[in-house]
């Protein structure tokens, strides 16, 4: 597991999310896409570590939300997804898109609940749109991420347990 | 075991005082300020054609807001003069000071609306103080970081924001509390009279420490007025800020009765 490359990937994604994408009204959550990528391409323990690390990165740019909710929700759902991937392969693009969408919804709701924010309609709409956008864009970003990490994107084979 | 340790770390961060953990967030923004600002410039490059128009519109907005503030100040002072039957010669901002600051980051996303500002001085800054942008109230100070000369500003459209305001009704001047809606708007609920769309909304001095004003300052404009769904005898207003936050580069914090 190339942790240095992973750290560089997460740092780049975090800066993009907080910099360029912050000025967009509707935007994908690149950290969510990184979470699903790591959960489906790394082994279980590496996926768990990277999920919590991605959540920590999301917390760093989550101001004014307090730190902690992203780390917990990313960690929990990333770990769950990694375990699910041992049973159901999530390598094809439609399945990746679905995984990103569902994970985005769950992570979004739990994060805001942990932060103590009321779940208003506008907030749920934002979570839904962000998850949809991420689900649409995410599968196209998996291949370059896998190349950067030196992983061969093999869609036909389940990851070794 | 590893999972437990990570969860514990997450819970510690969650329950730690936000004043402490937000230092990490600010430190990240401060350390990576350059790549973050490059990212912002790339996004803004796509809007170059609008920049000249935007500059004209902004100075016009500033001028109009200034005019409205002066009119409201004049009305307030005339009322006081009539009441006291005396001469009035105190300037509006007597006893006030301003802390000028540059906007570093803007987070306007869903229910959140916040700015991070770099203050040229932090003496006298405290939470709850009003922040001006383009001669209008845009929010209040939510957190001050004197060690790194920065502060967080909660915009009036943030879902946790609430400020006392007044607006001209069809018959009387109405006072209420304006709370943020997210989506670049705020609402004022339970008003006894209907208000015309287009009326200006003015921020008043706050009862809590920090947010004092000697005269009402414009904060927004009414864009919708409808009856409350639960109580048809009162009215709810939707208000949009008169300042375009996206084009804002610098702000001023009002410090009433600054320390000498």
Q: Are A18 and B36 in contact (CB under 8 A)?
A: yes
Tell me how many domains chain A contains. 1
Give contacts of B 163-192 with A, CB under 8 A. 181-183
Map chain A to HEC letters. CCHHHHHHHHHHHHHHHHCCHHHCCCCCCHHHHHHHHHHHHCCHHHHHHHHHHHHHHHHHCCCCCCCCHHHHHHHHHHHHHHHHHCCCCCCCHHHHHHHHHHHHHHHHHHHHHHCCCCCCHHHHHHHHHHHHHHHHHHHHHHHHHHHHHCCCCCCCCCCCC
pLDDT at B207: 52
| Interface contact flag, A59 B22, Cβ < 8 Å | no
Asked if the Cβ–Cβ distance from B154 to A64 is below 8 Å, we say yes
Is A63's CB within 8 Å of B152's CB? yes
Residue B50 contacts A where some CB pair is shorter than 8 Å: no
Res B233 pLDDT > 90: no
- Distance to chain A for B229, nearest Cα, Å: 16
pLDDT of residue B255: 80
Tell me, yes or no, if B9 comes closer than 8 A to chain A by beta carbon.
yes
Nearest to A123 among B37, B110, B154 (CB): B110
**Cβ-defined contact of B22 to A75 (cutoff 8 Å):** no
Examine residue A154 and state whether it is found in any structural domain, yes or no.
Answer: no
Per-residue b or e along B185-200, where b marks 16 or more CB atoms closer than 10 Å to that residue's CB = bbbbeebeeebeeebb
Tell me how close the Cα of B61 comes to any Cα of chain A, in angstroms: 22
Q: How confident is residue B94, by pLDDT bands cut at 50, 70 and 90?
A: low
pLDDT in tens, B30-81: 888 878 777 655 555 554 444 555 565 677 788 888 888 888 877 766 655 5
CB spacing of A15 vs B183 below 8 angstroms: no
Residue A160 lies in a domain: no
Dihedral sign for Cα atoms in the order B248, B61, B238, B256: positive
Residues in A touching B3 (Cβ below 8 Å): 48, 75, 79
Collapsing DSSP states into helix, strand and coil, what is residue B252? strand
A49 lies in some domain: yes
Test A52 with B6 for CB contact under 8 angstroms: yes
Average pLDDT of chain B? Answer: 79
pLDDT of residue B45: 54
Q: Does B74 touch chain A (CB under 8 A)?
A: no
Domain around A54:
3-149
Walk along chain A (161 residues) and give the pLDDT tens digit of each residue. Answer: 788 999 999 999 998 888 888 777 788 999 999 999 999 888 888 999 999 999 999 998 887 778 899 999 999 999 999 998 888 887 788 888 999 999 999 999 999 888 887 778 888 888 899 999 999 999 999 888 888 888 875 544 444 44
3-class secondary-structure state, position B227: strand
Residues of A within 8 A of B182 (CB-CB) are: 120, 122-123
* Residues in B touching A75 (Cβ below 8 Å): 3, 6-7, 10
In chain B, domain spans: 32-260
Q: Check B43 against A24: CB less than 8 A apart.
A: yes
Q: How far is A88 from chain B (nearest CA, A)?
A: 22
B217 and B87 Cβ atoms separated by less than 8 Å: no
In DSSP terms, B220 is beta-bridged to: B201, B241
| Distance of residue A114 Cα from the nearest chain B Cα, in angstroms | 8
Per the CB < 8 Å rule, is B25 touching A79? Answer: no
The reported pLDDT for the residue numbered B183 is 80
> What's the pLDDT at B59?
74
Comparing A141-150, B61-70, B151-160, B235-244, the range with the smallest average pLDDT is B61-70
* Cβ-Cβ contacts under 8 Å, B11 against chain A: 68, 72
Interchain pair A67, B16: CB under 8 A: yes
Looking at residue A70, what is its pLDDT? 92
pTM of the model: 0.50
Q: Is the pLDDT of residue B5 over 70?
A: yes
Distance of residue A59 Cα from the nearest chain B Cα, in angstroms: 8
Kindly indicate the confidence band of residue B84, based on its pLDDT and cuts at 50, 70 and 90. very low
In a domain, A128, yes or no: yes
* pLDDT tens, position by position, B204-229: 876 554 556 667 889 999 999 998 88
Q: Could you tell me if B93 lies within 8 Å of chain A, comparing CB atoms?
A: no
Domain-embedded: residue A157 = no
Contacts of A76 in chain B (CB under 8 A): 7
Q: What fold, for B32-260?
A: Thrombin, subunit H (2.40.10)
Indicate the pLDDT class of residue B139, thresholds 50, 70 and 90.
very high
* CATH number of the domain within which A34 lies: 1.10.1760
Cβ of residue B38 closer than 8 Å to a chain A Cβ: yes
Partners of residue A129 in chain B, C-beta under 8 Å: none
Residue B90 has pLDDT above 80, yes or no: no
Nearest CB to A59; choose among B2, B13, B44: B13
């Amino acid at each position: 597991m190339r942790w240095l490359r992973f750290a560089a990937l997460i740092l780049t994604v975090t800066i993009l999310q907080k910099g360029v994408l912050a000025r967009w009204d509707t935007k994908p959550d690149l950290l969510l896409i990184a979470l699903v990528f790591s959960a489906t391409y790394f082994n279980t323990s590496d996926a768990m570590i990277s999920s919590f690390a991605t959540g920590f990165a999301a917390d760093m740019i989550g101001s004014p939300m307090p730190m902690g909710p992203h780390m917990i929700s990313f960690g929990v759902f990333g770990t769950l997804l990694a375990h699910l991937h041992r049973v159901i392969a999530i390598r094809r693009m439609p399945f990746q898109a679905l995984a990103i969408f569902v994970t985005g919804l769950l992570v979004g709701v739990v994060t805001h609940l942990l932060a103590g924010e009321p779940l208003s309609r506008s907030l749920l709409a934002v979570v839904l749109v962000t998850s949809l956008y991420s689900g649409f864009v995410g599968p196209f970003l998996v291949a370059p991420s896998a190349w950067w990490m030196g992983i061969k994107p093999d869609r036909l084979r389940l990851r070794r347990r | 075991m590893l999972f437990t340790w990570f969860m514990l770390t997450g819970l510690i961060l969650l329950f730690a005082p936000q004043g402490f953990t937000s230092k990490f967030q600010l430190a990240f923004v401060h350390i990576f300020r350059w790549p973050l600002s490059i990212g912002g410039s790339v996004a803004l490059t796509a809007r170059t054609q609008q920049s000249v128009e935007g500059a004209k519109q902004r100075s016009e907005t500033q001028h109009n807001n200034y005019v409205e503030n002066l009119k409201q100040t004049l009305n307030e002072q005339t009322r006081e003069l009539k009441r006291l039957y005396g001469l009035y010669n105190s300037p509006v901002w007597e006893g006030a000071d301003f802390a000028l600051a540059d906007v570093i980051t803007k987070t306007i996303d869903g229910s959140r609306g916040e700015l991070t500002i770099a203050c040229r001085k932090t003496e006298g800054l405290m939470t709850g103080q009003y922040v001006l942008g383009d001669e209008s109230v845009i929010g209040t100070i939510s957190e001050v970081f004197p060690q790194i000369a920065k502060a967080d500003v909660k915009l009036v459209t943030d879902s946790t924001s609430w400020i006392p305001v007044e607006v001209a009704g069809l018959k009387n001047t109405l006072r209420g509390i304006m709370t943020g809606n997210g989506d670049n708007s705020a609402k004022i609920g339970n008003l006894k009279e209907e208000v015309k769309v287009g009326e200006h909304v003015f921020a008043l001095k706050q009862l809590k420490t920090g947010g004092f004003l000697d005269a009402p300052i414009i904060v927004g404009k009414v864009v919708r007025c409808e009856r409350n769904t639960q109580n048809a005898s009162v009215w709810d207003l939707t208000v949009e800020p008169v300042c375009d936050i996206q084009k804002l580069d610098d702000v001023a914090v009002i410090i009433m009765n600054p320390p000498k």
